[in-house]
Amino acid sequence: MNAATKLAAFAAGLALLFGGAAVAGGAIGPEPGEDAPQEHTEMTSAHAPDPVRGLAIEDDGLRVVVDDPELRRGRTEALSFRIENTRGETVRDFDVEHEKRMHLILARRDLTGFQHLHPEQAADGSWSTPVRIDAAGSYRLFADFAHDGEAQTLASDLRVDGAADLQALPAPAATAVSDGGYDVRLDTADAGAGEEADLNFTITRNGRPIRTEPYLGAGGHLVALREGDLAFLHVHPLAEDTVRFAATFPTPGRYRLFLQFQHEGRVQTVAFTHEVR
């Protein structure tokens, strides 16, 4: 074989080798750091449900740090915490969301003992509020806020001394009574997991419907927690003058809904168990 023939055969072999590598690379996908095809990105975002929140103490570069997670039952104590960035610096700037810059939610692991508080921020950026918890057990603390235009919920655990008398989650029911004696009815269409559900609450006292007063910028405020991991769901109020909300329940199972509304200057709290199939 002459030199020209050998050179042509070598070039053909190289073309075959690199052609196969290109096909294999296309089957594996883009290299790390490369953009995915545009049509794939759009399809993924279009079908992605609202993510649950409150499953971790740290997310998206922010972390909740509780000064002392041990509380004594039956005593009013100061509960203090702060939000830190990745450099360990205390974050001081927060957006106003639902008329407040910080919402603090406490709930026992069996989804009882619900409290919704609005702590005060100190000059050093930390947050604190007086808290009294009468039942022992493990509690979940949710710091719910907005920072740089993005809503976030970070969570940590609290422990209250003593033997815990855990309660079973109540069965789903269409009606419940608030802590101030108001009768509340929940009407919702049969929405499955991943579908947006319309949650409509009707409130009466002594058999007569009442009109709620504005509370946190709406007709009411709703917190939804998933049984088991206590995932914190994103809930949208549908109108300022009604007690209606839109929520997407990400998975089948039971959720505890904590509705708060205001009437005659007093905030009422009522809880429902909602099951998604």
Give residue 50's pLDDT: 54
Give residue 241's pLDDT: 80
Give residue 272's pLDDT: 98
17 HSE (CA, 13 A, CB side): 6
Give residue 234's pLDDT: 82
149-180 pLDDT, tens digit per residue, is 999 999 999 999 999 999 999 999 999 999 99
Residue 218 CB neighbour total at 10 angstroms: 22
Give residue 73's pLDDT: 96
Give residue 190's pLDDT: 86
186-216 pLDDT, tens digit per residue, is 999 888 999 999 999 999 999 999 999 999 9
8 Å CB contact between 79 and 110: no
Q: What is the domain partition of the chain in residue ranges?
A: 58-160, 175-276
Low-confidence ranges of the chain (pLDDT < 70): 1-51
- Cα(149)–Cα(95) distance, rounded to whole angstroms? 7
Question: In this structure, what token pair is assigned to residue 56?
Answer: 């971790």
Q: What CATH number was assigned to the domain covering residues 58-160?
A: 2.60.40.1930
Are 58-160 and 175-276 in the same CATH fold?
A: yes
Tokens 């050093």 appear where?
Answer: 124
Judged on CB neighbours under 10 Å (0-12, 13-18, 19+), 241 is exposed
Is 175-276 a domain of CATH 2.60.40.10?
Answer: yes
- What stretches of the chain adopt beta strand conformation (E)? 58-59, 62-66, 70-71, 76-84, 103-108, 115-117, 120-121, 127-132, 137-147, 150-160, 175-177, 183-188, 196-205, 208-209, 221-226, 232-233, 235-237, 244-248, 253-263, 266-276
Q: Is 152 helix (H, G, I), strand (E, B) or coil?
A: strand
